[in-house]
Structures are given as C-alpha cells and as structure tokens.
C-alpha cells in the first residue's frame, strides 16, 4: 500500500501512549491500533481531524505516500 501511517512517530514525539490517544479521540484501542500499524483500509476525515487536533499536527505528519512499483509509471490524474 503506498500510504504509510507514521502515527507512532508523532505519538512518540508527543509522549503519548496508544491508550491515551484512543481515549482523547474517543476511538477504540483496537481500531486505533489497526490504524497505527498500517492495516486500516480507510480513515474517516473526522478521525483524521481528531488525531490532528489532539496531536497538534497536520495530516501529512501522520501519513506519507511511498509509490509502489505500479504507481511509478502512472500519469498524474489517471486512476489506476
């Protein structure tokens, strides 16, 4: 998957545990763990907004794009 979640790095910089963050954004520990480990298939904007609010960060600080082999030759704007 070309989207990488770097939530653990931001949490470490903030000195926040997974449990503390889950309570702060009102999400189950299991669902937050799935997101943190990169196993989530989607993230709601409301969840992303809550994460950014609590962690005082921007969405790009907790996610990154790393192209897969198939993405490298794709033209901009073209769905694959």
CA distance from start to end of the chain: 13
- With 0-12 / 13-18 / 19 or more C-beta atoms within 10 angstroms meaning exposed / middle / buried, residue 40 is middle
Helix (H, G, I), strand (E, B) or coil at 68: coil
Q: In the chain, what percentage of residues exceed pLDDT 70?
A: 85
Residue 5: partners with Cβ closer than 8 Å, 6 or more residues away = 35, 36, 37, 38, 40, 62, 63
φ and ψ at 3, to 5 degrees?
A: -95, 125
Say yes or no to pLDDT of 58 above 60.
yes
Q: What is the mean pLDDT of residues 3-21?
A: 95
**Cβ atoms within 10 Å, residue 32:** 21
57 band by pLDDT with thresholds 50, 70 and 90: very high
């Amino acid at each position: 998957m070309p989207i990488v979640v770097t939530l653990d790095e931001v949490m470490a910089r903030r000195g926040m545990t997974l449990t503390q963050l889950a309570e702060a954004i009102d999400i189950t520990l299991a669902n937050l763990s799935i997101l943190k480990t990169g196993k989530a298939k989607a993230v709601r904007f409301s969840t992303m907004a809550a994460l950014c609010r609590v962690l005082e960060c921007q969405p790009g600080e907790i996610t990154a794009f790393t192209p897969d082999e198939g993405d490298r030759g794709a033209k901009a704007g073209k769905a694959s």
